[in-house]
Every structure is written in C-alpha cells, then in structure tokens.
Structure 1
Amino acid sequence: MTGWDAEVDVAVVGGGACGVMTALRAARDPGLVVGVFEKSARGGCNAAISSGSLAAGATRWQAAAGIEDSPQRHAEDILRASGDEERRPVVEALCAAAPEIVEWIAGTAYPIELGADMPRAGMTAWRLHTDTGRLGGGRLMRHLRALLDGHDNTAFVDEAPVIDLAAHGSEVAGVVVSQNGSPQRIRAGAVVLAADGFAGNRALVEEHLPQLGTPFYGGVSTSTGDALGWALRMGARLRNMGAALRSGLVVVDHGTRVSPALPFNGAVLVNLDGERFVDEESKGYSSLAGVLRRQPGERAAMIWDATAMAATRESEMMRECLAARAIHDVPAIEDLATALHRTPEEAERALAPLPGRRRLTAPYHLAWVTHGLLATQGGLVIDPSGRVLGTTGEPIPGLYAGGGTACGLAGPHSDGYLSGNGLLSAFGMGWLIGNNLAIEQR
C-alpha cells in the first residue's frame, strides 16, 4: 500500500516479558506475521533484571507441597492490597491465566519450582514460582526469546525503536520505527504497546511521583514512557500514575538489594537513631521504601544472623550482595553497637524480638539499606483483553497494551504492590492479548 514501508499482522512495541509472550502466543497462528520492535536488547528490560518469580494460584507445584490456593484467592490478595476494586475484571483475568502460564513455561523445558523459601507480605498462600538455581529473570527472558526464534512467522527486530503510532482517522493502523536513523512506516492490523514504564524518564517521574524524592534508580534506561504520549494522542486514558514499584532493600553505595525473605527469618531494621521503627514482616518491599524515605538520612541498618543467612543466601539478590561485598560481618554485640554508634545495651534493645518472633544470635550480618525506584505502576487503562480504552470507555480500534505501558496492579499507591505483580501483569497480559489476536486476526 502506498505510504507503507512494510506490513505485518501484529506489531509489538517492546521485546520484554509482555512483548515476547504476546508474540509467542500470537505466532501459534501460522497465518499471522508478527513483528517485535525492540528499542535496545542491550539496554535490557525490567523482566530481565527481576527475580523472575511468577505468582500463580492452584498449580501442581503448590498441590505437591500441600498448599491450598486458587486464582480467586490470588486475586483477592491483590485487590485487598491495592484497594482498586475497579480493576477487578483485569486482576481476575490475569490471576485465572497465571497457573496456565506457569504450566506452559515449564512445558517448554524451563526448570520451575515453588519458591518455598520466598515468603512475602500480603500473600495468604505460598505462590511464587521460580527457576531452580535461582538465576533470575535474565535466564527466563533468554529462554523465551530463544523460543521466539523458532517461529518462522515472527521477527524480533533489535535496535529498532518505535517513535510513533501511525493512525488512520481514529484507528491505529501501524507504527513508525526508526532504523539506522531513518523512519520506517510499518502497517499492522493490531499494535501492542508492550514497552516498559516511565521510571527512567526523570521529567515524568517528577511530574507524577514527586513524593518519592530522589530514590536510587534500579530499573533499565529504556523505561522512558514514550508510548504513553502516543496513546494519549489517540484518546487513551491514564490511571494510577502516582504508583510505582519501589524497594526499601537497596544497599547504600552498592545498588544491590538484600532478600525480601530476610524479615521473615528474623531480620530487623534499626535507624540512625538506634531505633526499631517498623514491624518488618508487615511491609512488602515496595511499601517499605516509603517507610525508609521518612527515616533520618533515608536509610537504616538491616541486621540478621547466621540462621537467616542460611535461609536466604542462595537467592540471586543475596549472591549479588555477597559478590559486591555489600554485607558486613559483625562478630558480637559490641561490634554491632560500634557499627550503629550505640552502646551495647542500646544495640541489645534494638534487637529485641517482637512478640512471637525469634531472637537473633551472634555473629550478625549487616547492610545499610535505603529506598529505590524500580518501575512505575501507572499507565494506560485497558480492559481484560488488553484493549486500550479511550475517554468514552470504548476500545481504541487496533490498539492493545500490557507490561509497563499499561496500568499495573498496585492501585493508586506504591504500598499496594505485591511481590510478583509486575511479571503477572506483563506475562499475563501478553498471554491474553496474544491468544486473542491468534483468533481475531485470522
């Protein structure tokens, strides 16, 4: 057609978790041609730097461990934390798909196990599934991209940033891709916005998330939020732009993160005044960031012992901390007091266990932690099929969104984020969109 440089059935913007899953599911239809346009694989994606943990209820791994769970229970946990009842249809659709996704990934010869050492705040059942060996999200993304290479009807085009949508009236008709500095117009029957969020865009963060202050940024450089502006020009709506995935476990001067399982194994937080200031088990790592932000110096000492170290040291995060020498060994209470600039008696009081918790015993381990920003949670309003909704509530023809481009599951505030929500939203919406496109585009 005149004015187009190339044509595909499905144009996917971004080759992260949502984009690759969308392409894998859509490519099952041999009649579809799917193009995945990635800004920069070298720049990475948020899924690749995550733990790679997949939250799902009612899986065979849970059953084998004697854990009772269900997609509905999973959804209720998320909605209880977020308070965003309006998002219930999307949440329920994602939680219903989650066990199917975990089973499908395992069926592609990817080693999955239930994370029995991964307790998390806000979850009423153990439901995080992870890779054996705990090599993280990078391993999972490499595996899925390799699967995509096996489909003759897909193309993963790297170093090809999408710079705009192509429209025909009120309908999305394709994308404009920059290749070797030149714009290329790609016609598409459906466009899927599967880019990361806007956490790497300082101006947008300052506009929508001023309450975060100046956190350490632990996300990828490609999270610039460009797709939000394109969709807004098509009449899309934004939601929950003040929410983000944060972490209160970022090690000062290192940028690594200690394990979220440490507080469930007795670890305590002590601020610069030598005070315990939070029930550590009551906070997820995202909500903990807000608590750290309010402490003197915006930091605190995370302290644990050999028992807690043994339970967590094989996680990817703890291995990275140990390799970076971000964890200090503290032989005795006197040494801990020196590190905290307190007397031994004050240090003992700070370590006093809360009711029902165990007492830490020497030798100790210590890491100074602060708050960080990992990814944003606000984004485009979508329906349970991933269709982007306009101001009237009706879908914008030809436009879908998932991953960091779509509104996440945390609700209006960062405290509503539960562990696993990010990959659930990304893989889950990619699964739903890809399945639908494999039917609709025939």
Structure 2
Amino acid sequence: MTGSTLTWDVEVDVAVAGGGACGVMTALRAARDPDLVVAVFERSTREGCNGAISSGSLAAGGTRFQREAGIEDSPERHAADILAASGDHEWAPVVHALCAVAPGLVEWVADELGYPVEIGADMPRAGMSVPRLHTDVGRQGGARLMAHLGAALERLPNVALVDEAPVLDLVVEDGAVTGLVVEQNGVRQRVRARSVVLATDGFAASPELMAQHCGDLGSPFYGGVSTATGSAVPWLAGLGATFRNMGACLRSGLVVVDHGTRVSPALPFNGAVLVGTDGRRFVDEEAHGYSSMAGVLRRQPGERAAMVWDAETMAATRHSEMMRDCLAAGAVQDLPDLPALARALGTTLDAAAAALAPLPGRRPLVAPYHLAWVTHGVLATQGGVVVDTTGRVLGPDGEPVPGLYAGGGTACGLAGPSSDGYSSGNGLLSAFGFGWIIGDHLASGTRVGSQASAEREHVPPSG
C-alpha cells in the first residue's frame, strides 16, 4: 500500500508483524528503551507458533552452562559448524552475527527472565562438534519457552501484544515503510510506526509457494503451524527485495507414520538403526541430521523405514518431549525378541539380525526392541528475504529499505541452498537471534539510515 497523505488510526514507535519467537524477542529487547512504544500484531495465538511446537532447544556456543559442564565452545566454532553443513559461505556475516549474540541471549533468558535452562549434554546432533543445545530443565519443549517469554512481555508497560490482528499489508511512502495495515474485529486500521519488523514466519503452509519453490520435496507430512503462509512474500516482492535459498526447508526424517509425532534425534547416537521395507539397513544413521535424513527417506521404497532401538537407547532418550509424545500416542511398538522384530519388519530372522549388526565402534542392540515406522516431513521453510547483519531488509540496490526489518522465518535462514544443510537449532537461533539483534538495534536509538553504508556489513543480494 502506498500513499503520501494518509490518515492513521494508531501510532507507535515499533510495529512488529507476528508474535512468534522472533516477534516476541524483538519486542522484549526493544522495550528495554522506556521511550519506545512497541506493538506486536499476531494473526492468532490459538494454534501457537512454530517456536511453540519446536523442541525449544537453543543453540549457542560459549555459554556459562557449557563451561560449567566442561564443554569448550565459542561463537566462532558454532558458526564454523553451521557453515560447514550449509556450504553457504556468502551468508557468513549473518551466521557470525547470530552466533555472536547466542550465548548472551541464552544467559539472559535464564538469568534475567528466570527460565530454567540447562545444557543438553545428552543431545548429540550430526554436524555439531560439541554439545551446544540448551534446553529447559524437565524437557517440556517450545510451548513452555514461548509461554514464559509471553508472560515476560505482558509485564512490560510499553508493549502491547494484539491478538487476532492479522497484518494485511505494508504502508509505503516515498520508498520508505512507514506502517502496517492491520485487521481487528473485521475493521482495517493503519498503524503508523517509525520502524516495522516483519516476523510473520515462512511459507511452509502455503501449497502454492511450496509448489513453486520446493516442489522437489514431493508430498511430505507437514508438521508446522497453519499460519505459516508466507504472507510477507508478496509485500517484500512489491518492494523489489531479493530472496535467497527459497528451495531449502527444515525437514525431518523422524516423523512417525500415521501419528505425526517425531522420535528423538538422539536415537541414532544411542544405537538406533533404520531398516528399509526390504528388511535391509541402508544408511549410516549418525552421518545425517534429521533434515538431511528426510531426503534419504524420500528416496526409499514407500518413503518410509523402521527405526529400531533397545531398552538402553530408550532409557537415554525417553525423557525428551518428542519421545513422551510418541509414547503417549501409541506410536512405538514393543517387541520382546528377534523373531517378533523380524515379523514386524516382514523379513527373516537372518535378515533382521543382519540389519541390527552394529557398524564399527558401535554397540549391538539387545532385546527387547522398540520400533517406529518413520517418514519424511517439512516443519518450516528456510528461504527468505535478504537482510543485513542488523536485520534490515535490503532493497534491489543492496541498500536498506528505510523503516523495514525482517527476521525469523521471513528472513533467509541458515541452511544454505539445500535442506540437507540445516543444522539442529538453526531455526530458533535465527528467530531469537534476529529478534535480539533487531530489538537491540531499535532500543539503542539507532534509526534506519543513520549509519553510513560504509559502516554496514553487506550480505550478497542473491544466491
């Protein structure tokens, strides 16, 4: 929406589109400046956001929680691991910026906001050189984390979270974004803001956009929220903004068939094996992250396989929220011995025994066994708009669009051009990290256009 002589229904300093992980963190940090009035407009909190249905694991390198556990790590090592997985070295300035703020973010959530954080030393992940996933004590997942942050937001006198208020468009005047068009109770309102932050999530719930950008993924199970429709994509395209890596997604090869729950990513690192519908083991399970594993399962007959593990593996993983959900849903079969396992796999005793044979250096599984048939799914998209290291949206000339920021699923993520490049924790790192960066940038009093272009770190406009 454009115009030069508009009337306004509401005026604020910061208008945030989207009340998920990025939007809430942006508001929390920006509101530390008592002179800023912040409004967060959320389409609907009834279903929750992708942050709420995630595991709530916060990836950070160099925290005090790691040091107390004797784990040596740093933001630089964290960034190196992400870039090794994604291969997207052109996006390195953003990766380094997010990893740099991650330790402070985790410690602030724990120390200032009182969230019960611990290092997940028992949460190994492919491509993660040391344990760096931070989780809540009790492993209750993202819903607990988002509820805690939401409660902290409600206590702030200069913030309003407006629910059931979908954002419909941007207001653009003379090339600058000066506000939002919001619908409340069926009435459209123009909200004027000095700074607008787009945190409306990606487009994984849009069949049209998924077909356009991610058609090669087939027909995966969708495990995200229905509100991730990519509503910001046409607004940004209308500004001439550039998008990157639109074919990349956060995928999962751990989705339980006919249930939609997910088994724990830690299973393979505790001995679990994957067996195909032909009764044969077909992959080194520890060599793939759960996003990369989705592509492996997509190529299997029937696009599924049996994840098999034993009591020792179950004891090491059953306390996670994913395994609790699977067990509560009846998604796990209990098999007393090898003959029972062979029958469940539809194969012979010898073939079942061969499938369980441990790879070098790994322990053998011991009866009784547990089994879940898993397939591939999509949880969120990873492609998005190009931003600089402070979250400012870059226009077609590579310069910031005045007044406009983007983060979370709206901005280009950290997986690189392929879903296989996704590293565990990247989603919340990008969402909370950009919320932290943007909120701090706004709270500092720095306004769009106040820094010379020579002082900014640019990222490439395409990829």
Range class of TM-score, shorter chain? over 0.9
| Structure 1 residues 32 and 10, CA gap change in structure 2 (3 angstroms) | same
Equivalent residue for 1:10, pick from 8, 14, 36: 14
Is 1:413 equivalent to 2:418 in the alignment?
yes
Aligned residue in 1 for 2:454: none
Comparing 390-399 and 71-80, the one that deviates more:
390-399
Aligned residue in 1 for 2:270: 265
User: How do 1:46-195 residues align onto structure 2 when only pairs under 5 Å count?
Assistant: 46-107=50-111, 108-195=113-200
Distance in structure 2 (CA, Å) of the matches to 1:301 and 1:351? 12
Aligned residue in 2 for 1:201: 206
Q: Shift of residue 440 of structure 1?
A: 2.7
Alpha-carbon displacement from aligned partner over 1:289-335 (angstroms, at most 9, x marks no partner): 00000000000000000000000000000000000000000100000
Distance in structure 2 (CA, Å) of the matches to 1:170 and 1:70? 40
8 Å CA contact retained: 1:21, 1:430: yes
Distance in structure 2 (CA, Å) of the matches to 1:2 and 1:358? 69
SS in 2 for 1:8: strand
Q: Shift of residue 441 of structure 1?
A: 5.7
SS in 1 for 2:66: helix
Alpha-carbon displacement from aligned partner over 1:192-236 (angstroms, at most 9, x marks no partner): 001110000011001100111000000000000011111111121
Distance in structure 2 (CA, Å) of the matches to 1:44 and 1:212? 25
Which letter does structure 2 place at the counterpart of 1:293? R
- Unmatched 5+ residue regions in structure 1? none
Distance in structure 2 (CA, Å) of the matches to 1:394 and 1:440? 20
Distance in structure 2 (CA, Å) of the matches to 1:138 and 1:116? 21
Distance in structure 2 (CA, Å) of the matches to 1:328 and 1:364? 8
Equivalent residue for 2:408, pick from 403, 410, 421: 403
Distance in structure 1 (CA, Å) of the matches to 2:319 and 2:440? 36
Distance in structure 2 (CA, Å) of the matches to 1:231 and 1:174? 14
Aligned residue in 2 for 1:423: 428
SS in 1 for 2:405: strand
Distance in structure 2 (CA, Å) of the matches to 1:114 and 1:43? 28
Q: Shift of residue 43 of structure 1?
A: 2.2
8 Å CA contact retained: 1:189, 1:441: no
Distance in structure 1 (CA, Å) of the matches to 2:125 and 2:100? 21
Aligned residue in 2 for 1:281: 286
Alpha-carbon displacement from aligned partner over 1:312-364 (angstroms, at most 9, x marks no partner): 00000000000000000010000011011111011000111111111000000
Distance in structure 1 (CA, Å) of the matches to 2:6 and 2:255? 52
SS in 1 for 2:401: strand
Distance in structure 2 (CA, Å) of the matches to 1:134 and 1:109? 16
Which letter does structure 2 place at the counterpart of 1:343? T
8 Å CA contact retained: 1:266, 1:357: yes
Q: Shift of residue 2 of structure 1?
A: 5.2
| Runs of 4+ displaced beyond 6 Å | none
Distance in structure 2 (CA, Å) of the matches to 1:225 and 1:72? 32
SS in 2 for 1:36: strand
Distance in structure 1 (CA, Å) of the matches to 2:231 and 2:200? 9
8 Å CA contact retained: 1:162, 1:175: yes
Distance in structure 2 (CA, Å) of the matches to 1:2 and 1:151? 30
Which letter does structure 1 place at the counterpart of 2:70? G
Distance in structure 2 (CA, Å) of the matches to 1:379 and 1:243? 10
Aligned residue in 1 for 2:461: none
Distance in structure 2 (CA, Å) of the matches to 1:235 and 1:186? 22
Alpha-carbon displacement from aligned partner over 1:354-412 (angstroms, at most 9, x marks no partner): 11111000000000000000000000001110000111111111100000000000000
8 Å CA contact retained: 1:6, 1:187: yes
TM-score (norm 1): 0.99
Distance in structure 1 (CA, Å) of the matches to 2:446 and 2:85? 37
Distance in structure 2 (CA, Å) of the matches to 1:110 and 1:439? 25
Equivalent residue for 1:381, pick from 382, 386, 390: 386
Aligned residue in 1 for 2:41: 37
Is 1:232 equivalent to 2:237 in the alignment?
yes
Which letter does structure 1 place at the counterpart of 2:143? G
SS in 2 for 1:197: coil
Is 1:298 equivalent to 2:298 in the alignment?
no
SS in 2 for 1:245: strand
SS in 2 for 1:253: coil
Aligned residue in 2 for 1:25: 29
Is 1:343 equivalent to 2:348 in the alignment?
yes
TM-score (norm 2): 0.95
Alpha-carbon displacement from aligned partner over 1:162-185 (angstroms, at most 9, x marks no partner): 000001021101000011112100
SS in 2 for 1:47: helix
SS in 2 for 1:147: helix
8 Å CA contact retained: 1:159, 1:179: yes
Q: In angstroms, what is the RMSD of aligned CA positions?
A: 0.9
Distance in structure 1 (CA, Å) of the matches to 2:151 and 2:110? 15
- Unmatched 5+ residue regions in structure 2? 448-463
Distance in structure 2 (CA, Å) of the matches to 1:302 and 1:423? 27
SS in 2 for 1:224: coil
Distance in structure 2 (CA, Å) of the matches to 1:400 and 1:277? 44
Distance in structure 2 (CA, Å) of the matches to 1:161 and 1:376? 20
Which letter does structure 2 place at the counterpart of 1:161? P
8 Å CA contact retained: 1:32, 1:441: no
Distance in structure 2 (CA, Å) of the matches to 1:231 and 1:242? 17
SS in 2 for 1:191: strand
Distance in structure 1 (CA, Å) of the matches to 2:233 and 2:390? 19
Distance in structure 2 (CA, Å) of the matches to 1:123 and 1:344? 36
